[in-house]
Amino acid sequence: MQNVYEQVEANKTKSIVIVALFTAFIVGAAYLIGQSLGDANILPIALAFSLISSVGSYFYGPNLVLSLNGAKPAARKEFFDFYTVTENLALAAQIPVPQIYVIDSPAPNAFATGRDPKHAYVCATTGLLTKLNRTELEGVVAHELSHIKNYDTRLMTIVAVLIGTLSLFTNLAFRNSMYRDSDSDRKSGTPAIIGLVLIIFSPIIAQLIQLAISRRREYLADASAVMLTRQPSGLINALKIISADATKFSQASTATAPLYISNPFRGNKIASLFSTHPPLNERIKALESML
Amino acid sequence: MFIFLGLLVLVVLYIVGFYNGLKTTEVRIGASIQEIGNQLKRQAELIPNLVDSVKGYLTHEKGIFTQLTDARKLVTTALETQDPKAIDKAQASLTQALRSITVIAESNPEIKASNLVSNLMGELRDTSDKVMYARRTLIDLTADFNVKISTIPGIWFASMFGFKAKPGLETPTSGDFLTVNPKDTAPPQVKL
């Protein structure tokens, strides 16, 4: 098992590796497409595009994730327990108090984002806030603050934004190749095939990346959350309530799914094949062994 | 020769790191003690004000209830004596009380009162949580510090810099509270 400092270092390194892989993938794909089209302009454009989206995901990824999920800043008066619990646990975790956001959705879920503990955000759905009591909420918030402290949020947010960009890119490639196909007599076989390959491979790549980074860190964040609250029962009960709840979560997308405390697409069989989260009952079991 | 020199550099680097790490923790322990004081101060200023505001609201409601019972008494005496002046007076006081009640009813009195009380309970729990977490920080930092200076290899260098074990949150180490009496095992009774 890694300790916290090794975890932080690993996350920072992985963030850089992911950005490098992303750039390599985009530039490589652009090179192939450029070759087949005989168009050299596409390469610098792709390079600029991947650089901009990488830098953008680092600085503006968190804001993008928040607005994509329809999150709004939470007021102390309206969300008293959520607000004060976050304040208290930030004190215990010895990090600055993150910015506190709320999503208006009945599905109980929560996530954290931000590039480092000084630029961090915690977000919960209104469903979570109404369904959990204060002790259970402390467990969930402690879990999210652990992600912030471990720099999981930096890695996860970058991955989420880049995967989103990638799927945008492949969609464009797909549409482009369709367009060219229908454009009759030009030699358009190759780009069409590349577009198809991109479409088939990029979700798989995306899923593999998510799998590689996500499963174990959930256990680690659960354990660190218990270190903060010293009450495993709070998080256990919260996870039980979350797993028993079948409300649909309409705001979440596949790209942002790994950020959440529990997979927003639970119950969907194909989605759970590529799940970035360990099953809730196994997390509960691991926590119960700490009681 | 070079191997020896290299080893020496490594040892010096280790000692520098060790010293800086401990000093940082020491400063943080000091800050966490201040934080406890800070939270206690917050609590001392916040709670009396909160209680006052709730009290103020409840006496306001009590005033309405006494107004209402007074009006009711006036009505009964007026009905007994059949004195037109008394009836007039009763009617006036009843309208007064009713008017106050509608005002409260419009702002949903019971919910509002219970909201105020539950707000107070929420703030009370939050402030004691804050003090508890501030203390927790002190305990955790002290444990970190003490482990570092009392385990190998830290123990070899700690005395060199005069680092001593920190007391952390001071609790008496002997006395009644360290033993569990049969009385303590009984479930607590809550009387309302």
Can you give the residue ranges of every domain in chain B?
A: 2-160
Determine the residue of chain A that is closest to B126 in CA distance: A84
Residue A1 has pLDDT above 60, yes or no: no
Mean pLDDT of A17-40: 77
* Mean pLDDT, chain B, integer: 79
Read off the pTM: 0.76
Residues of chain A with Cβ-Cβ distance to B25 below 8 Å are none
ipTM above 0.85, yes or no: no
pLDDT of B109: 58
Indicate the domain borders of chain A: 4-288
Among A80, A92, A134, select the one facing B137 at the smallest CB separation.
Answer: A92
Chain B contact present for A76, CB below 8 A:
no
Question: Is the CB of B133 less than 8 angstroms away from the CB of A81?
Answer: no
Type of residue numbered A8: V
How confident is residue A184, by pLDDT bands cut at 50, 70 and 90? very low
pLDDT of A237: 93
Question: Is the CB of B137 less than 8 angstroms away from the CB of A89?
Answer: no
Interface test with A, best of B126, B127, B144, B145 (most A CBs within 10 A): B126
**Following DSSP, what letter does each residue of chain A receive, concatenated?**
---HHHHHHHHHHHHHHHHHHHHHHHHHHHHHHHHHHT-STHHHHHHHHHHHHHHHHHHTHHHHHHHHTTEEEPPTTTTHHHHHHHHHHHHHHTSPPPEEEEE--SS--EEEEEEETTEEEEEEEHHHHHHS-HHHHHHHHHHHHHHHHTTHHHHHHHHHHHHHHHHHHHHHHHHHHHHHHHTTTS--HHHHHHHHHHHHHHHHHHHHHHHHHHHHHHHHHHHHHHHHHS-HHHHHHHHHHHHH-----SS--TTTGGGBSS-TTTT-HHHHHT-SS--HHHHHHHHHTT-
Residues of chain A with Cβ-Cβ distance to B27 below 8 Å are none
Chain B contact present for A245, CB below 8 A:
no
**Region of poorest pLDDT, from A34-48, A133-147, B51-65, B113-127:** B51-65
pLDDT of B42: 82
Chain B contact present for A89, CB below 8 A:
yes
Yes or no: domain B2-160 corresponds to CATH 1.10.287: yes
Among A81, A84, A92, select the one facing B136 at the smallest CB separation.
Answer: A92
The verdict on whether A218 is a catalytic residue reads no
Question: Is the CB of A84 less than 8 angstroms away from the CB of B126?
Answer: yes
Residue B58 has pLDDT above 70, yes or no: no
**Region of poorest pLDDT, from A169-183, B47-61, B73-87:** A169-183
pLDDT of A192: 62
User: Chains A, B: CB contacts under 8 A, how many?
Assistant: 27
Q: Coil, strand or helix: which one is B24?
A: helix
Residue A156 has pLDDT above 70, yes or no: yes
pLDDT, tens digit (0-9, with 9 covering 90-100), for A257-288:
778 888 777 665 555 555 667 788 888 988 88
pLDDT of B112: 59
